Structure 1
Amino acid sequence: MKNLLKLSLLIVVLSAISCAQKKENREEFKNEHKVEEKRVDGTAPVVVAGEGNRLSIEKLEGNYKGLLPCADCPGIETELKLKKDGTYKLESEYKERSTKIEEEGTFSVSPDGHVILKSNKTGEQETVYFVQNGTIYMVSSASDVEVRPNYKLEKQ
């Protein structure tokens, strides 16, 4: 019984530490970038540079590539092209398979640094990335700021 109580207390403490780290990452990003959303040519909102802002459309626009994890193959070769007009093209090729998926749509960038892709096919949110130091990381939701090294796409 004592061991169960100790284990429960340990889980609560570790959860609190994890939540604090996520909040710290989000606040650090907001303070560092001072971003705002604007619409470019009537498309999806994109990040624009504020005074002293290091994250701008020019820096975000471009090709990002990486090898993402795959449960039953050696990886997914992924290329994400973010365009200045708020559109994207996502190409995913599964290693050692003949499967290649192409997706196009619009993207938006939240004030706290999340790139949110919206598919033209479904009209729904497809994938969310978190921007940090010129690299984007696939995350589970628009509130997630946990950086997972295996889920990164680097600007080319």
Structure 2
Amino acid sequence: MKKKQLFALIGAAMITFASCQNKGETKEDQSAQQHTTMAESNKVADAAHNSANALDWNGTYEGVIPCADCEGIEISLVLNNDETYLLTTKYLGKADDIFRSSGKFVWNEMGSIVTLEGVEAPNQYFVGENALFKLDKEGNRVIGDLASKYMLSKKMGDVVVQEGLLETKWKLVELAGQPLTDEKEGDIPFLMLMKEDSRLSAFAGCNNIMGAYELSEGNRITFSQMASTQKACPDMEVEKNFVKALEMADNFTLKDGTLSLNRARMAPLARFEKVEE
């Protein structure tokens, strides 16, 4: 009887020990699962709030970064809403040459770094709050005492106007996605943005249009105070849509002699080509 009782006690103890061990493993498993869930949630939160969609990143950034064989490299970088850029560089202490390049930029998967297309490396910038940080050739942030020397600060105030935009006659070639093909030479609508008093002068195909425009950071443009002559013509459809495009436009793109008026990131409202004098 004593041996049977002893075996029974040992068996009970083993069962109790195994039960406790299983409970401990379950708690560890639950803890690990919770940490995994939290990590996944953090990744989702990071993706939802990044530089690309949470910061007012479009605008002009300026600064002077270190140079191996000159006094410094003066940089001006314009990032536009349509994900195009204008880069201007000058090597201080050398010739007075100014180098300009433009094109598209792309965001990395995390939405924190932009890469300028068509520019030799290093051509990547980390996008921060009102600042860009130029990355090295490997795409890494410069750290330590030199970190602040690779920062470009966002320019507030004066707007950098793209070369060729103003004092140029722009003839209308496409309206609401439809090319203009039937207009006679003297009836082709055009647009001119004058430097003086930020005035606009336009011809809509029948009537002349006068008004004002305002430029702001990120290639934003708005037209206001518009008035026109009151001639009546057989077909006013193009004119009506042209005026509507001016009223709706809130940004523009200018590349390779083509000017587009846009609203947000939708298809262009109107396209123009530069008239060579």
Alpha-carbon distance between aligned partners in 1 of 2:74 and 2:84, rounded to the nearest angstrom: 20
* CA distances 1:50-93 after superposition (whole Å, capped 9, x unpaired): 3xx36337611100000111122211110000000010010001
Alpha-carbon distance between aligned partners in 2 of 1:57 and 1:116, rounded to the nearest angstrom: 18
Alpha-carbon distance between aligned partners in 1 of 2:141 and 2:97, rounded to the nearest angstrom: 30
Task: Decide whether aligned partners of structure 1 residues 112 and 54 sit closer, same or farther in structure 2, where only a CA change above 3 A counts.
Answer: closer
2:112 corresponding residue in structure 1:
113
| Alignment RMSD | 2.9
* 8 Å contact from structure 1 (residues 67, 76) kept in 2: yes
**Whose RCO is larger (CA < 8 A, sep 6+)?**
1
Map 1:139-154; keep pairs closer than 5 Å: 139-141=135-137, 143-147=139-143, 148-154=147-153
Task: Decide whether aligned partners of structure 1 residues 146 and 68 sit closer, same or farther in structure 2, where only a CA change above 3 A counts.
Answer: closer
Alpha-carbon distance between aligned partners in 1 of 2:124 and 2:104, rounded to the nearest angstrom: 12
2:91 maps to a residue whose letter is Y
Q: Name structure 1 gaps, 5 residues minimum.
A: 1-29, 36-49
Alpha-carbon distance between aligned partners in 1 of 2:117 and 2:122, rounded to the nearest angstrom: 6
2:102 corresponding residue in structure 1:
104
Question: For this pair of structures, how many residues does the alignment match?
Answer: 108
Q: Does 1:74 align with 2:71?
A: yes
Map 1:51-66; keep pairs closer than 5 Å: 53=49, 55=51, 56=53, 59-66=56-63
* 8 Å contact from structure 1 (residues 118, 125) kept in 2: no
* 8 Å contact from structure 1 (residues 76, 95) kept in 2: yes
1:70 maps to a residue whose letter is C
Where in structure 1 do 4 or more consecutive aligned residues deviate above 4 Å? none
2:125 to 122, 129, 137: 129
State the 1:145 CA deviation: 3.7
SS at match of 2:70: coil
Alpha-carbon distance between aligned partners in 2 of 1:54 and 1:112, rounded to the nearest angstrom: 6
Task: Decide whether aligned partners of structure 1 residues 87 and 73 sit closer, same or farther in structure 2, where only a CA change above 3 A counts.
Answer: same
Alpha-carbon distance between aligned partners in 2 of 1:83 and 1:57, rounded to the nearest angstrom: 16
TM-score by length of 2: 0.34
* 8 Å contact from structure 2 (residues 124, 139) kept in 1: no
Task: Decide whether aligned partners of structure 1 residues 63 and 57 sit closer, same or farther in structure 2, where only a CA change above 3 A counts.
Answer: farther
TM-score by length of 1: 0.58
Larger Rg: 2
Task: Decide whether aligned partners of structure 1 residues 141 and 114 sit closer, same or farther in structure 2, where only a CA change above 3 A counts.
Answer: farther
1:138 to 116, 120, 134: 134
